[in-house]
Structure 1
Amino acid sequence: MTGDQDELEGQFAQWRHYVRRRRALRSTDVEELEDHLRGSVDELVAAGLRADEAFLVAVKRMGSLDELSREFAREHSERLWKQLVLTGGDDDPASGGRARRDLRAMVLCAAGAAVSVKAPELFGLDLDRDGAFYALNAGLLTLPWLAGFLAWRRRAGRALVGLLVAWFALGAVAANAYPLADDSQSLVVTCVHLPLALWFAVGLAYVADDPRSPRRRMDFIRFTGEWFVYSVLIALGGGVLTAFTFGTFEAIGISPEGFVSRWLLPCGAAAAVVVAGWLVEVKQGVVENIAPVLTRLFTPLFTAALLAFLVALVVTGDGIDVEREVLILFDLLLVVVLGLLLYSTSARDPLAPPGPFDRLQLALVAAALAIDVVVLVEITGRITEYGTTPNKAAALGENAVLLVNLAWSAWLVLGLVRRRAPFAALERWQTNYLPVYAVWAWVVVLVFPPVFGYL
């Protein structure tokens, strides 16, 4: 095989890897598309084009892969209906058996999460009276079951399972060993950062089949976004169920308030953590067409909002109030911006040239970067003048971590727009930066409470 043929096969391999991420296309469809693509390449090579030129032209002729996914979904409408039901959608008996095993494992793990939420009551704890305990341990009661389901599905090895157990055990120590008062700032920052630290354990379980792969890390970013979408949908459905439960039982003179508040809501929320993860795994093709649409919808809206805020900040000349609630608001805003960037990166065609949406993303990241700098200046000034607190120190560190990511992301997006940097550089930067967030979250959870005297 010649060098040109080796390079061409490498391009086909990259194309197949990208196409298989589109869950609306089955393996047989991918093979059909590849046959069509190879035929086009052969025709173009015979017409005198080089192999690499022929490949790019043939891919361009096929159109965007999202359009191909929709076309196949329309031509095979029964498949879309199969995706929307609970039992899979694959005619392969082996795949059907795997779907049933996944369903049983999900039900077991979801039930385990629901039982875990009620288990503390056996030791005299109460959800209403001991709210601080449940706030600290919410992630510990639910996320191990999601991680367990993913580790089982990925056939994780014993060493990785042992690492996951140690990870969650460390979280249990951080949540329960420190003497945190109910009104302490350390309790608040731990409640915020511990679930984030534990979510990266879920990520480790997700990439158990190839922990070193940047592509698998990007898949986990996609999983996180889609898990959030499904969680919101489940929460909305749960709200409707709760309303109907109240209405129907009160119509016959029975008040279901105790059952709803003590059983339905906590157990349902805990089980939903696992159910949402399972839905992402087996129904990815359904939401995969929704999430990119939401990203493209909210990116211009958030860009306009951030630019309007910067203009108002300059016109009024007022500083930012760096109280705890405001710090949390700005951090959430920056996290949402980063989430939009991450998800659009994970859903982008790596072979596509830069377009208007990439320029819009550059404006979004630049605006977020400017706001991050303003917030950092305000926090630093307050700390210099009044001293530091756990809230301010955590906010300072988080904004510094976000600043590094946003600054380099802006530079890479600028290079992409100017056609001086490949898209792969942006994708690689985002996946390589994920451990930084995990390390910072653990620093806040493990180091901050004793350093600040558990205040």
Structure 2
Amino acid sequence: MTTADDPDQLEVQFAQWRQYVRRRPELRRSDADELEDHLRGSVDELVATGLRPDEAFLIAVKRLGRLDDLSREFAREHSDRLWKQLVLTGGSDDPVVDERSRRDLVAMVVCALGAAVSIKLPELFGLRFDQDFAFYAPNLSLFALPWLAAFLAWRRRAGPTLIGALVALFTLGAVAANGYPLAADSQSYVLTNIHLPIALWIVVGLAYLADDLRSTRRRMDFIRFTGEWFVYFVLIALGGGVLIAFTVGTFQAIGIDAEDAVTQWVLPGGMVAAVVVAGWLVEAKQSVVENIAPILTRIFTPLFTAVLLVFLAVLVWTRAGIDVEREALILFDLLLVVVLGLLLYSISARDPLAPPGPFDKLQLALVVSALVIDVLVLAEITHRISEYGTTANKAAALGENVILLVNLAWSAWLMLGFVRRRNPFAALERWQTGYLPVYAVWAWIVVLVFPPLFQHL
């Protein structure tokens, strides 16, 4: 490039433009790259005529045309693209892209089969999926997530150092799931079942970020991937449930009991394979269904905000205390996690350059309501611990609520500044992506430190 007068500032402008373009559902990544190449060439030509880089960039963007108009024009010209992208192998006019799609499909099938085979291996040692729940519950994520990480690492061409780190972390997860003699009714056993999948999902995130581990944008992409993966997985699970019901029913109609075969083979194998298939779908079909999760976020944010505000109003009116027994702790923590998930996914799907609007104020109300509930729960937990002593459940809940309190408090502050036009939206984005390792560290602490620390509880 000849744009050397202020390359850093110019690259910032290109990065903002690229981020906006890649969020357009009408354009694939290859199309966005082509547009960027055209834009860079135009900037270079204008700089060569004597313009400053920032002036050249603005003029080049104007020449390119308004992006919304361009996207609509592009969609009209390629109206067949959406259904083509639903075909398993390709739909592109680029043979290189088609070949990569076929290779991704083969890699996904291999990893999905690997997950399905791995969950059957314990049967060689006499462990049955429908009987040995105490073994399968903590190990279930270990049969699926390493294969999803393998697919992502292969797709991103991860280096040997990262691959070694992934293997080491999944091995550590296997130790956490099987290395402690935990009773099935112990609190530590339940906590391991809840926190180990979280810890291992962050390991999957390392495979996803293999091409740029420190990038804020790539971390936000992983958050987006997580939301879309969940949507796909739920859809596959619902379809699988219907398939199983029809399979059992049709065979039963001819006098054959297929329930045992389905329970032993189709259900466990299909469940772990679906984890890999959902990840492949997110990677391969981004421009087709990636708008589902933002739509769900728009629907459920006002609903959750209303529920939390009503809950707080009733709590003040009745002056009732908050129950901090195990079921209630799990319920409140799940509620706070859902609120955080709504916040994270709305951030990942939002145009960072757009001005604050009514939905941002609604999210601020949601975060503040969740923050107040978190403070009340923390106060009750602290009181119970000081009066009756600690347990594994209460210690885990205390740590998780402190972590969520810090996140929600600073998020509320940043959102307030953004709504008042004092902070850029990028500050909130950087805070959330930078906070991800905190969740990973706490999840690993719970699965590795809590079992020996609370071995009698």
TM-score by length of 1: 0.92
- DSSP 3-state at the match of 1:77: coil
Query: How many angstroms apart in 2 are the aligned matches of 1:211 and 1:5?
Result: 23
1:22 CA drift (Å): 3.6
1:83 aligns with 2:80: no
Q: 1:381 to 1:5 in 2, by over 3 A?
A: closer
CA RMSD of aligned residues (A): 2.8
Aligned counterpart, 1:435: 437
**Structure 1: which 5+ residue stretches go unaligned?**
none
Cα deviation code 1:33-79 (max 9, x no counterpart): 6699899999xx9xxx9986997799799999678656643442210
Aligned residue runs from structure 1 range 151-230, under 5 A: 151-230=153-232
Cα pair 2:407 2:435 within 8 Å, conserved: yes
For 1:189 and 1:217, locate their aligned partners in 2 and report how far apart those are by CA, in whole Å: 26
> Structure 2 unaligned runs (5+)?
none
Partners of 2:69 and 2:186 lie apart in 1 by: 53
Question: Is the Cα contact below 8 Å between 2:236 and 2:274 reproduced in 1?
Answer: yes
Kept in 2, the 8 Å contact 1:151–1:205? The answer is yes
Superposed CA offset, 1:369-418 (max 9, x none):
01111111111111112111111111111011000000000000001101
1:452 Cα deviation (Å)?
A: 1.0
Output the CA distance in 1 between the equivalents of 2:227 and 2:325.
29
**1:16, CA displacement in angstroms?**
2.0
Aligned length: 451
Deviation at 1:334, TM superposition (A): 0.7
Structure 2 partner of 1:112: 114
- Residue of structure 2 equivalent to 1:147: 149
Within 5 Å, which residues of 2 pair with 1:42-441?
69=71, 72-441=74-443
CA distance 1:68–1:371, change in 2 (3 Å): farther
1: distance between equivalents of 2:65 and 2:432?
27
Contact 1:179 1:454 in 2 (8 A): no
Q: In 1, Cα distance between the equivalents of 2:162 and 2:377?
A: 39
Q: Give the direction of change, closer, same or farther, for the CA distance of 1:64–1:327 in structure 2 (3 Å limit).
A: farther
* TM-score normalised according to structure 2 size: 0.91
Q: Please give the secondary structure, in 1, of the residue aligned with 2:373.
A: helix
Judge conservation of contact 1:180–1:454 (CA < 8 Å) in 2. Answer: no
* Comparing 10-19 and 324-333, the one that deviates more: 10-19
Inter-partner Cα distance in structure 2 for 1:282 and 1:15:
23
- 3-state SS of 2:254 partner: coil
Distance 2:300 2:63 in 1: 30
Asked if structure 1 preserves the Cα contact closer than 8 Å seen for 2:180 and 2:451, the reply is yes
- 8 Å contact kept, 2:208–2:222: yes
Percent of paired sites with the same residue: 77
Equivalent pair of 2:229/2:278 in contact (CA under 8 Å): yes
| Structure 1 residues 66 and 430, CA gap change in structure 2 (3 angstroms) | farther
Q: Distance in 2 between matches of 1:63 and 1:346?
A: 25
Partner in structure 2 of residue 20 of structure 1:
22
Q: Quick one: distance in 1 between partners of 2:68 and 2:379?
A: 43
